[in-house]
Amino acid sequence: MIKAIFFDIDGTLRDFTEKGIRPGTYKAIDLARNSGIRCFIATGRHLLEIQEENLLDKLAFDGYVLLNGSLCLDSRHLVLYENPIPVSQIQSMLDLERKLGFALIFMEKDAMYTSRITPQLEKIQAQIGTAVPPVEPHMERGLTRPVYQMIPYTEGLSHDFLADCLPLCDITLWHDGGAYDITPKGGSKQLGIEKVMQHYGFSRDEIAAIGDGFNDIPMIRYAGVGIAMGNGNDKVKEAADFVTDSIDQDGLLHAVEYLSAYNLQSE
């Protein structure tokens, strides 16, 4: 019996660039709640992005797995779990940024900021429908405050090069390239979900996860029922128990309908 669903945001609850939430998404969340299923967010996004860009409109959730599992909050935005990046890795990234001159974003609990504004940063932020964060002239603040995620905006750094420079971090390439999510080693949406499950008393078999991106693969594989959006990458689909339709074909609603039917069969 599925008691909780963890939803990715971009490409799942909403289109990357489309403003507002589709009617089918509201129907999906209503169906889940009316079926007695609790709803959670699992995203690489920062809470500030969600709030300031109004990414979720009037949708309400029972908790948030943010920054690819590095920071988890309850419905009142109180911390359930946190896993900051080691200071040594912050310093290594600062050294790379100064040497190579790419834009770098640091994400703290209540702040996100960039080292500089570049065409690459502006292009990618526009692609995901998010404003460029403020420039921070003193990025060294990241050495004295917890940073939960770093994002270098560059096509000039390979995954293997970053992995060698940052051995205590995990590096995840974005959908279309040009930027990486960098989080603490061993951290993931899956780990964040595990911490939320422990808090609310869910077992692995009682959760479902729905997503479309590379960073969704661990949670999709881990969940009792893992669902890939039809617009997702092929590797995401291979990891899933069920592949729904794409977001522009009400794939999310069909996914929740699938879970509702799954629960009826489990009774």
Q: How is residue 128 written in tokens?
A: 């995901």
Q: Which domain holds residue 224?
A: 4-83+188-266
User: Taken in order 95, 96, 102, 106, is the CA torsion positive or negative?
Assistant: negative
Nearest CA to 240 among 252, 228, 230, 248? 228
Q: Identify the pLDDT of residue 20.
A: 78
pLDDT in the model for residue 246? 95
Q: Mark whether 202 and 173 lie in a shared domain.
A: no
State the number of CA atoms in the 13 A half-sphere of 56 facing the CB.
Answer: 22
What SS3 class is residue 189?
helix
Are 35 and 56 in a shared domain? Answer: yes
- Cα dihedral sign, 228-10-5-250: negative
Residues facing residue 183 across a β-bridge: 170
The answer on 65 and 97 residing in a single domain is no
For the beta carbon of residue 112, count every other beta carbon within 10 angstroms: 23
Express each pLDDT in 15-63 by its tens digit: 876 777 999 999 999 999 999 999 999 998 999 999 988 899 989 999 9
Distance from C-alpha of 53 to C-alpha of 103, rounded to nearest angstrom: 21
Q: What confidence tens digit (pLDDT) does each residue in 188-205 have?
A: 899 999 999 999 999 999
The number of folded domains in the chain is 2
Last residue within a domain, chosen from 136, 168, 184:
184
Low-confidence ranges of the chain (pLDDT < 50): none
Across 76-134, the runs of DSSP E, i.e. the strands, are 79-82, 103-107, 112-114
CATH code of the domain containing 128: 3.30.1240.10
pLDDT of residue 175: 60
Domain of 74, CATH number, reads 3.40.50.1000
C-alpha 70/C-alpha 89 separation (Å) is: 15
Instruction: Give the helix/strand (H/E) hosting 173.
Output: strand 169-173
**Is residue 201 classed as helix, strand or coil in its secondary structure?**
coil
